[in-house]
Amino acid sequence: MADAPKLEDTARWGRAWQASDDWSSHTVSRAQAEQIAAGYAMLLRALGQRSGQGLAGIGIGSGAGHLEAALGARNYAMTASEWNEDGLHLIEGQNPQLERRIADLTTFHEPSTWNLIVCRELYPFTRTNDYGGQSAILSRLVDSLRPGGVLLLSGSDVSRPNCLDYRRAMRELAADRRVDRVAGPVLEPLLKRIPRSPFGTTAYPLQNMVAELALGLLNRVRRPRIAGIRLYAIRRAAA
Protein backbone atom coordinates (compact mmCIF):
# COMPACT_ATOMS: atom_id res chain seq x y z
CA MET A 1 0.00 0.00 0.00
CA ALA A 2 1.29 3.46 -0.86
CA ASP A 3 2.38 5.64 2.07
CA ALA A 4 -0.25 8.06 3.34
CA PRO A 5 0.23 11.51 1.84
CA LYS A 6 1.97 13.89 4.21
CA LEU A 7 1.73 17.63 4.40
CA GLU A 8 4.98 18.13 2.58
CA ASP A 9 3.68 16.00 -0.31
CA THR A 10 0.35 17.70 -0.74
CA ALA A 11 0.69 21.24 0.50
CA ARG A 12 1.63 22.39 -2.97
CA TRP A 13 -1.14 20.58 -4.80
CA GLY A 14 -2.86 23.08 -6.96
CA ARG A 15 0.16 24.31 -8.89
CA ALA A 16 -1.14 22.46 -11.94
CA TRP A 17 -4.72 23.63 -11.72
CA GLN A 18 -3.74 27.24 -11.27
CA ALA A 19 -2.07 27.12 -14.66
CA SER A 20 -4.72 25.03 -16.42
CA ASP A 21 -7.80 26.07 -18.37
CA ASP A 22 -9.82 24.01 -15.89
CA TRP A 23 -9.04 26.22 -12.89
CA SER A 24 -12.70 27.07 -12.27
CA SER A 25 -13.51 23.48 -11.26
CA HIS A 26 -11.25 23.87 -8.20
CA THR A 27 -12.86 26.93 -6.74
CA VAL A 28 -16.46 27.80 -5.93
CA SER A 29 -18.33 29.80 -8.52
CA ARG A 30 -19.54 33.31 -7.77
CA ALA A 31 -23.13 32.06 -7.46
CA GLN A 32 -22.20 29.22 -5.07
CA ALA A 33 -20.05 31.59 -3.04
CA GLU A 34 -23.04 33.87 -2.61
CA GLN A 35 -25.11 31.03 -1.13
CA ILE A 36 -22.30 29.74 1.06
CA ALA A 37 -21.54 33.24 2.38
CA ALA A 38 -25.22 33.67 3.31
CA GLY A 39 -24.98 30.44 5.33
CA TYR A 40 -21.67 31.54 6.89
CA ALA A 41 -23.16 34.90 7.85
CA MET A 42 -26.07 33.17 9.55
CA LEU A 43 -23.75 30.93 11.53
CA LEU A 44 -21.49 33.84 12.46
CA ARG A 45 -24.47 35.82 13.71
CA ALA A 46 -25.46 32.83 15.83
CA LEU A 47 -21.92 32.92 17.25
CA GLY A 48 -22.28 36.58 18.17
CA GLN A 49 -20.50 38.30 15.27
CA ARG A 50 -22.05 41.34 13.61
CA SER A 51 -20.45 41.77 10.19
CA GLY A 52 -21.70 45.36 9.93
CA GLN A 53 -18.82 46.34 12.19
CA GLY A 54 -16.29 45.84 9.37
CA LEU A 55 -14.57 42.94 11.10
CA ALA A 56 -11.18 41.91 9.71
CA GLY A 57 -11.30 38.61 7.86
CA ILE A 58 -8.85 36.59 5.79
CA GLY A 59 -9.46 33.70 3.44
CA ILE A 60 -6.56 31.27 3.14
CA GLY A 61 -6.20 29.35 -0.12
CA SER A 62 -8.93 31.54 -1.59
CA GLY A 63 -8.89 30.16 -5.15
CA ALA A 64 -10.64 32.81 -7.25
CA GLY A 65 -11.63 34.74 -4.12
CA HIS A 66 -15.39 34.57 -4.76
CA LEU A 67 -16.19 33.57 -1.18
CA GLU A 68 -14.13 36.45 0.20
CA ALA A 69 -15.87 38.83 -2.21
CA ALA A 70 -19.30 37.59 -1.05
CA LEU A 71 -18.30 38.06 2.61
CA GLY A 72 -16.89 41.48 1.71
CA ALA A 73 -20.31 42.40 0.34
CA ARG A 74 -21.63 41.54 3.81
CA ASN A 75 -19.35 44.15 5.34
CA TYR A 76 -16.48 41.96 6.46
CA ALA A 77 -13.18 43.69 5.65
CA MET A 78 -11.86 40.70 3.72
CA THR A 79 -8.39 39.86 2.46
CA ALA A 80 -8.02 36.97 0.02
CA SER A 81 -4.79 35.00 -0.05
CA GLU A 82 -3.00 32.27 -1.94
CA TRP A 83 0.33 30.60 -1.41
CA ASN A 84 1.99 31.79 -4.65
CA GLU A 85 1.95 34.53 -7.29
CA ASP A 86 -0.10 32.46 -9.75
CA GLY A 87 -2.80 32.22 -7.12
CA LEU A 88 -2.73 35.97 -6.57
CA HIS A 89 -3.11 36.58 -10.31
CA LEU A 90 -6.25 34.46 -10.31
CA ILE A 91 -7.72 36.51 -7.46
CA GLU A 92 -6.72 39.75 -9.17
CA GLY A 93 -8.32 38.64 -12.44
CA GLN A 94 -11.59 37.51 -10.83
CA ASN A 95 -11.99 39.92 -7.92
CA PRO A 96 -9.72 42.92 -8.44
CA GLN A 97 -11.48 44.88 -5.66
CA LEU A 98 -10.19 42.49 -2.97
CA GLU A 99 -7.16 43.04 -0.79
CA ARG A 100 -4.83 40.15 -1.64
CA ARG A 101 -1.59 38.73 -0.39
CA ILE A 102 0.56 35.62 -0.14
CA ALA A 103 -0.15 33.30 2.81
CA ASP A 104 0.85 29.67 3.27
CA LEU A 105 -1.56 27.64 5.38
CA THR A 106 1.20 25.32 6.56
CA THR A 107 3.09 28.14 8.30
CA PHE A 108 0.34 30.74 8.84
CA HIS A 109 0.68 32.32 12.28
CA GLU A 110 -0.38 35.92 12.98
CA PRO A 111 -1.19 36.06 16.70
CA SER A 112 -4.44 37.81 17.72
CA THR A 113 -4.91 39.46 14.33
CA TRP A 114 -8.17 38.28 12.72
CA ASN A 115 -11.88 38.34 13.59
CA LEU A 116 -12.57 35.77 10.90
CA ILE A 117 -10.39 33.16 9.19
CA VAL A 118 -11.90 31.15 6.34
CA CYS A 119 -10.34 27.87 5.23
CA ARG A 120 -12.45 26.08 2.63
CA GLU A 121 -11.45 22.88 0.89
CA LEU A 122 -7.71 23.27 1.45
CA TYR A 123 -5.57 20.36 0.29
CA PRO A 124 -3.42 20.20 3.45
CA PHE A 125 -6.65 19.26 5.26
CA THR A 126 -8.61 17.42 2.56
CA ARG A 127 -5.92 15.28 0.90
CA THR A 128 -3.39 14.69 3.65
CA ASN A 129 -3.13 12.13 6.42
CA ASP A 130 -0.77 13.87 8.82
CA TYR A 131 -2.61 14.49 12.06
CA GLY A 132 0.31 15.99 13.98
CA GLY A 133 1.05 18.55 11.29
CA GLN A 134 -2.63 19.35 10.68
CA SER A 135 -3.30 19.80 14.38
CA ALA A 136 -0.33 22.19 14.64
CA ILE A 137 -1.74 24.23 11.73
CA LEU A 138 -5.13 24.42 13.49
CA SER A 139 -3.49 25.52 16.72
CA ARG A 140 -1.67 28.37 14.94
CA LEU A 141 -4.93 29.40 13.25
CA VAL A 142 -6.69 29.60 16.63
CA ASP A 143 -3.78 31.68 17.90
CA SER A 144 -4.23 34.02 14.92
CA LEU A 145 -7.80 34.89 15.98
CA ARG A 146 -8.64 37.91 18.05
CA PRO A 147 -10.68 37.22 21.19
CA GLY A 148 -14.20 36.30 20.01
CA GLY A 149 -12.87 35.65 16.49
CA VAL A 150 -14.06 32.65 14.49
CA LEU A 151 -12.25 30.12 12.33
CA LEU A 152 -14.53 28.65 9.65
CA LEU A 153 -13.09 25.35 8.53
CA SER A 154 -14.86 23.61 5.70
CA GLY A 155 -13.58 20.48 4.10
CA SER A 156 -14.40 17.31 2.29
CA ASP A 157 -13.80 13.81 3.62
CA VAL A 158 -13.95 12.07 0.26
CA SER A 159 -10.26 11.04 0.47
CA ARG A 160 -10.74 9.44 3.89
CA PRO A 161 -8.51 8.21 5.53
CA ASN A 162 -6.24 10.64 3.66
CA CYS A 163 -7.82 13.75 5.09
CA LEU A 164 -7.96 15.51 8.43
CA ASP A 165 -9.57 13.45 11.17
CA TYR A 166 -12.19 16.16 11.71
CA ARG A 167 -13.86 14.55 14.72
CA ARG A 168 -10.61 14.12 16.62
CA ALA A 169 -9.53 17.65 15.73
CA MET A 170 -12.84 19.14 16.91
CA ARG A 171 -12.73 17.12 20.15
CA GLU A 172 -9.26 18.47 20.86
CA LEU A 173 -10.20 22.03 19.94
CA ALA A 174 -13.28 21.87 22.17
CA ALA A 175 -10.94 20.98 25.06
CA ASP A 176 -8.48 23.79 24.17
CA ARG A 177 -8.59 26.56 26.79
CA ARG A 178 -8.27 29.24 24.09
CA VAL A 179 -11.53 28.05 22.48
CA ASP A 180 -14.98 28.60 23.97
CA ARG A 181 -17.18 27.17 21.21
CA VAL A 182 -16.97 24.56 18.47
CA ALA A 183 -20.03 24.37 16.22
CA GLY A 184 -20.80 21.87 13.47
CA PRO A 185 -20.56 19.77 11.48
CA VAL A 186 -22.94 21.45 9.09
CA LEU A 187 -23.25 19.82 5.69
CA GLU A 188 -22.41 22.43 3.07
CA PRO A 189 -25.12 21.47 0.54
CA LEU A 190 -27.63 22.12 3.30
CA LEU A 191 -25.90 25.30 4.36
CA LYS A 192 -26.34 26.65 0.83
CA ARG A 193 -30.10 26.31 1.19
CA ILE A 194 -30.73 27.38 4.77
CA PRO A 195 -31.51 31.03 4.10
CA ARG A 196 -34.09 29.95 1.52
CA SER A 197 -35.37 26.89 3.36
CA PRO A 198 -39.16 26.86 3.80
CA PHE A 199 -38.50 25.42 7.27
CA GLY A 200 -36.40 28.40 8.35
CA THR A 201 -33.25 28.23 10.44
CA THR A 202 -34.88 26.67 13.50
CA ALA A 203 -35.45 23.34 11.74
CA TYR A 204 -31.93 23.18 10.37
CA PRO A 205 -30.25 21.13 13.16
CA LEU A 206 -32.84 18.39 12.53
CA GLN A 207 -32.43 18.68 8.74
CA ASN A 208 -28.66 18.46 9.19
CA MET A 209 -28.91 15.37 11.37
CA VAL A 210 -31.20 13.59 8.88
CA ALA A 211 -28.95 14.55 5.96
CA GLU A 212 -25.83 13.30 7.85
CA LEU A 213 -27.52 9.98 8.57
CA ALA A 214 -28.65 9.58 4.95
CA LEU A 215 -25.15 10.37 3.65
CA GLY A 216 -23.58 7.93 6.12
CA LEU A 217 -25.93 5.13 5.02
CA LEU A 218 -25.41 5.86 1.34
CA ASN A 219 -21.64 5.82 1.72
CA ARG A 220 -21.77 2.40 3.37
CA VAL A 221 -22.98 0.90 0.10
CA ARG A 222 -21.61 3.27 -2.47
CA ARG A 223 -18.11 3.40 -3.96
CA PRO A 224 -16.68 5.88 -4.61
CA ARG A 225 -18.00 7.70 -1.59
CA ILE A 226 -19.99 10.90 -1.96
CA ALA A 227 -18.02 13.82 -0.62
CA GLY A 228 -19.56 15.41 2.41
CA ILE A 229 -18.20 18.92 2.62
CA ARG A 230 -18.73 19.92 6.24
CA LEU A 231 -18.33 23.21 7.98
CA TYR A 232 -17.03 23.68 11.52
CA ALA A 233 -16.86 27.00 13.36
CA ILE A 234 -14.26 27.41 16.11
CA ARG A 235 -14.57 30.52 18.28
CA ARG A 236 -11.72 31.95 20.28
CA ALA A 237 -12.70 32.81 23.82
CA ALA A 238 -13.09 36.46 24.74
CA ALA A 239 -9.99 37.74 26.58
236 beta partners: 179
From residue 117, how far is each of 40, 141, 200, 232 by CA, in Å?
A: 12, 8, 26, 12
57 sits near ligand SAM (criterion: CB under 6 A): no
104 sits near ligand SAM (criterion: CB under 6 A): yes
Residue ranges in 175-203 assigned as alpha helix (H): 188-191
In whole angstroms, give the CA distance from residue 31 to residue 132.
36
**227 or 234: CB nearest ligand SAM:** 227
63 sits near ligand SAM (criterion: CB under 6 A): yes
CA 196, distance to chain mean position in Å, is 22
- Per-residue binding string, ligand SAM, 109-148, x by CB under 6 A, is -----------xxxxx------------------------
In whole angstroms, give the CA distance from residue 21 to residue 201.
38
152 beta partners: 118, 233
What lies within 8 Å, CB to CB, of 228 at 6+ separation is 156, 157, 158, 187, 212, 215, 219
- Of 23-31, 140-148, 175-183, 228-236, the segment contacting ligand SAM by CB under 6 A is 23-31
Give the shortest CB-26-to-ligand SAM separation in angstroms: 5
27 sits near ligand SAM (criterion: CB under 6 A): yes
Three-state secondary-structure class, residue 132: helix
- Of 81-89, 129-137, 186-194, 209-217, the segment contacting ligand SAM by CB under 6 A is 81-89
**31 or 206: CB nearest ligand SAM:** 31
Q: Report the residue from 5, 39, 57, 61 that binds ligand SAM according to the rule CB under 6 A.
A: 61
CB 181 within 8 A of CB 233: yes
Contact residues toward ligand SAM (CB under 6 A) are 11, 13-14, 26-28, 60-63, 67, 82-83, 87, 104-106, 120-124
